[in-house]
Every structure is written in C-alpha cells, then in structure tokens.
Amino acid sequence: MEGTIQERLQNLLGFEPLAVLSVLGLAAYAFYRMGLRNVRASRHETLGRLFRELLSTYVLFVVCWGIQYLVLHFWTEAERFYPYVGVAAVAFGAAVFVRSVKIIVFEYLFFKSMTAGVPVLLVNLVTLILSIFIAAWLSTSVFGVRWAPLLATSAIVSVVLGLALQDTLGNLFAGVALQFDKPYEIGDWIEVHGSGGQTFVGEVHEITWRATILYGVFDEVLTLPNRLVAQSEVANFSARKKPIYRGLNVLLDPESDEEQVKSILRKVLKETRGVLQGLDHLVMLRDLSERGALYRLFYPITHYNLQFIIVDEILMRAQAEFKKAGISVSRLRVEVGDQAQSRGV
C-alpha cells in the first residue's frame, strides 16, 4: 500500500504543478499591480495580507516539493520518508492553489467595484466549495478513498446534521439568495421592516455566512440573521444613487403670513448643515385646522445617518427665526420616515 501511495504522489508532484502554481500566483500579483492601483487603502491592506499568506504557503510548498524531489532522486536511503514529505507537498500545493483563487476572486470583485464594498460571503463560498472539491479529489487520487459508498451509507447522519443545522443552513442559503437578488450592497443605507413590527436601520457593513451586519445611525452594530432579512421588507435609500429626501412638519398659528413663513423656512433649509444645496427645497402649506396651519418641508440630505441631527438644527433655527419675526408657534410636529415625534414650544 505504501508503494502505491508513493507512485500516486510521484504522478502528482512533477514539474508541471510547480510551474502552474508559480504562474498562477504571479498572474494574481501582476493583476493586482496593474489593475488595482487605484483602490482604497483598506483594500490594499486586505490584498497585502492575502499575498503574505500566499507567499508563506508557497515557500512551504516549494520546500516540501524540493525535499521530496531530493529524496526521490538523490537521498534514496531516506525513501521511506517520501510518502510523508509527498503528502505535505500535496497539501501545501492545494493550499497555494486555493489561496491564489481566493485572491483572484477578491481582485475580480474589487475591479468590478472600485469604491463600493464587496461581500466576503461570495469569496468564502467559492473558497469552501473549491476546498471541498480538491480535498475529495486528492483523497481519491492519493489514498484511493471511494466517496460514493461513504455518502450512501451516511444518509441518516446527513439527515440528523441537516436538522441540527437547519437555522445555520437557512441563513447561509438566504445570504446566497440575497447576493443573487442584490436588494442592497455594502455601503448602502437600508431599513429592514420585520414581520413583528420591528424596524432596523443602518449602513450595510458586511454579509457573512450567518448574518448581515449593519452600522446603525449612532454607530451601534446590528447583526441581523440573513433569513430574517430575506423574509422582511427592505427599503434601500442608496440603491438609485440619488439624493435622499426627508420630510418634516411644522404646525404654526393659522393667522401667520404664509409667504413670510415659507421664506423663513426656505432660509433655514439653506443655512442648515447637512442639507444639500442646489437642489429643490420644498415648503408647502398642507393643512388648515383648529390646531393650526401645517407646513410640510421636503429637503435632500448629504448623509442618511445625519438625518436626526439635521432635523434638530432645522427646528432650532426655525424656532429662533419665528421668535424674531413674532410668529406664534403652537406646536412643532416632526415626522421622519415612519416615526413621528412631537415637541411643544
């Protein structure tokens, strides 16, 4: 049996694998140097770390490959150690191949999206599938393992594992489905409306095997299971790459001069930090009742996470301007998104 393994290892450890793995690693590095020079610093850091891991694995592969070559052709008295060194060379060679492909997948995603984030889930999924395939192929090629009978006799074990891991697998497949449907990408601001009436708001930071990670309005970290997100209504405020408009209601004395009120509110919107200028700022009289005159403001903002700070500044400026103009404010009512907040003055 030992001689059979040695023959199989000799067939796998010729000069061709050494040349192919060397060319693959050099091609990945050449693509990085020529095509990805303009990516941001965090991506250079990621690729630099991956290349360092690849280089260390490649050095171990070359060392093991060189030792098995010397044992086979020059150190024949140490031939009994050949299977161990050969298996190590094959293992490190497989690791070099998987890590090279992982880098190439990262580079492809970075090249397609120079500024927006890319999901690590896709890279990890490709790496996992490739690793399983190579491990199965090598175990058959080197050790003669037959997987078909093993898989047939492990049906009961598979069912038990499937039941035990149904939540994990559900989140995994939900994450894959979200990647194909692309309701959001990394860097998008989204609202997730769950079936239980809960609403989660944040910027998409990462999509992992199990969850979608959001950075909330106040930099809190929200970890939402992928299956929950897939079953919820998702509002994406960044998908169309257009300005995000927010709305605000102001309730005033109905005796106030309408044109003066609109002029003050337009002036407030023009002077408020975080409100985009050069775009439409709409101020409309929406309702007249015994409660007062209801004015509605629509304005674009620079960043979704600044919306509450912008509302606060608008209200403070409007209150000061109305007091200077002698306009009576009976009540301020703020509506941002689906939530309402009232403030008495």
Do the domain assignments include residue 162? no
Strand, helix or coil for residue 188: coil
**Residue 192, C-beta contacts closer than 8 angstroms, at least 6 positions apart:** 199, 200, 201, 224, 228, 229, 232, 233, 234
Pick from 283, 285, 180, 166: nearest CA to 227: 166
Same domain, 15 and 138: yes
Domain residues for the domain of 208 are: 183-236
Same domain, 21 and 132: yes
Do the domain assignments include residue 316? yes
Same domain, 187 and 326: no
Question: What pLDDT tens digit does each residue of the chain (345 aa) get?
Answer: 444 777 778 788 888 889 999 999 999 999 988 888 777 777 788 889 999 999 999 999 999 999 888 888 887 777 788 888 888 999 999 999 999 999 998 888 777 765 556 667 778 788 888 898 888 888 888 777 776 665 555 555 555 555 555 666 677 777 777 777 778 888 888 889 887 778 888 888 888 778 888 988 777 899 999 888 888 888 888 766 778 888 899 888 888 888 999 999 999 999 999 998 888 889 999 888 877 888 999 999 888 878 888 999 999 999 999 988 888 775 444 445 444 343 333
Tell me the CATH number at 216: 2.30.30.60
**Contact between 50 and 103 (Cβ < 8 Å):** yes
